[in-house]
Chains A and B, each alone.
Chain A
């Protein structure tokens, strides 16, 4: 249990650090949030589910779009991460953060900024797909390979 708590804390820190590192492109209706690649981690580690939730929560506090983004974003990510965990044996694991984020985040960005819904939904879905299939997928295959060799990855 302690191992899981510590690892979840570090995954959350990783998410926040990467978001902050690339902050000009991490927020808003047109965003490319590279840290979202970590949303596929629940495939291998269940503790990544709360970690992603916390990561998004704290990142969005720094992001400065306010409470709606903080709570909305983190809850959507929590649901997406949990679906990824449930679907961890098939392709749905990768699709859940792409589709859920794309369609739900844009829902509240639409209410928050009053921007056209389909525009936001499309822009977020594309950026999520780029990050998750471009980085998340190779990351998971890499980890699957190394998991048996390196004890700290178990």
Chain B
């Protein structure tokens, strides 16, 4: 055994974690066993090692027994390694002389057999005890933090995060894929439960983004590449050509009037295709920036080069430029807040509800636009043939809580459906039938809102809709959409004929969430939303330091929760920037020069180009700034002359020896 700091003196601490560990693993026996292992001076079990008395226990032992290595057998190192490293450091030993054994997540929580789980625990402790003999004193590496923050996505989450960070005086880049910020929220008519107008509360925030001196807003742009590490990210942003100069356009719309298409002819995506727009358009009245954009798929000039370019002639400021090219901008930021939002469930995936087959089946998103004063019909709720619906069925949980589509509850659809019921009643006076499974109204003022709608002479039928069809069984169903449902409160199967069906579609991850995840080096949870670092205590940080998530890209949530998470992500990014540095694990690789044979086999293996070859010395060299500590080169070196701090060969070999030592 090495004798770097004199003899190795180890303390082993086995945590009960209340009953979490102790109910399955014989913690006392594990501690007793640890006492028999080489170098172990003290071994104890304690109810909560992470508590203050638990930590004090370790600190006191370090001083009293002159310990220089600590093994804590408790929960996952990903949870409490920092706690025990800091405790050890307080007592005067190097923080990297601590090794954790994962008895909870990898032991007590996954096994029932007490004897087998205890045997496993002993083996793991044995491995850790042998391992710490080889631990060396190390210093954490400090990297400086660039104060600039990148916010990806300009919906309400991105807008709120950007303004919050910018208000603290840090430069912010807000990158939005669409020609305007606003996201999904800009499409809503009213917001539950207060029924205040979405545009009225959102527009001031959009304006604040545009006019904020610390915010650089890039719409119609996408992040294409992220390199670097916490505090020092290098980001490439693709700025798509909008063929209109942002610095010249004032949003007068003379160009739109002048366009050679006298009538709008192309689907208006903002209104979910329910009306038409011209090739040159402003997405909606409050679009921010108030700059028009030309759709290259529709514009004659861009498609054929043979247009008289009436729009360009109409622009007295000369703002239209058909030669505009895509640009790649490179920026450097310290932190990234990803707020890329959700997409509504595609209702055509649930064919039993007839969306896309029967013209009068709508999604909740379409109704949001239909009831809106700036919507396709100017706020007039009419069917596709122009008539007013006299009866409307609202189907809840479309695409949510369904094993065939998405298993999760989308959290907002119940409230959205209640809100739309209210608005539709208000606009049409029609009979409204709500078909729900469970009414989920958890939120401030939500249950009260539900009670309010219950008193608005709206019908509620508890049952999952089986089918929407146009097959009339009697004259009253003729020409109507028939909703077939089991009313689970009365126990009858019912057929309810209506003029209009509204599908309260759920929220799901965006189609390209996986692509974004890869660019950001994040993980996704199993349903495809971005994975937070901890589901309860770190719901905005991710496993990639310096990358935070906010809003519905992390999971379905309503506007208040989105804003709260965005503020939290902003606070994390600001704390990072204000600290000015970040401590990273000193787990980089280095070359033992005397042993390097100069074979160069490591040089090409490094994904970060951290290894170069010194032709003079005929040795490989590792740049510690570029090294990320994966250990690929260490495993490849034929002469064993590359070492990785914290994961040295001896450390791992001794761990192998330890976990297998008991025959």
Q: Do the two chains belong together in a single complex?
A: no
Chain A interface residues toward B at CB < 8 A: none
Chain B interface residues toward A at CB < 8 A: none
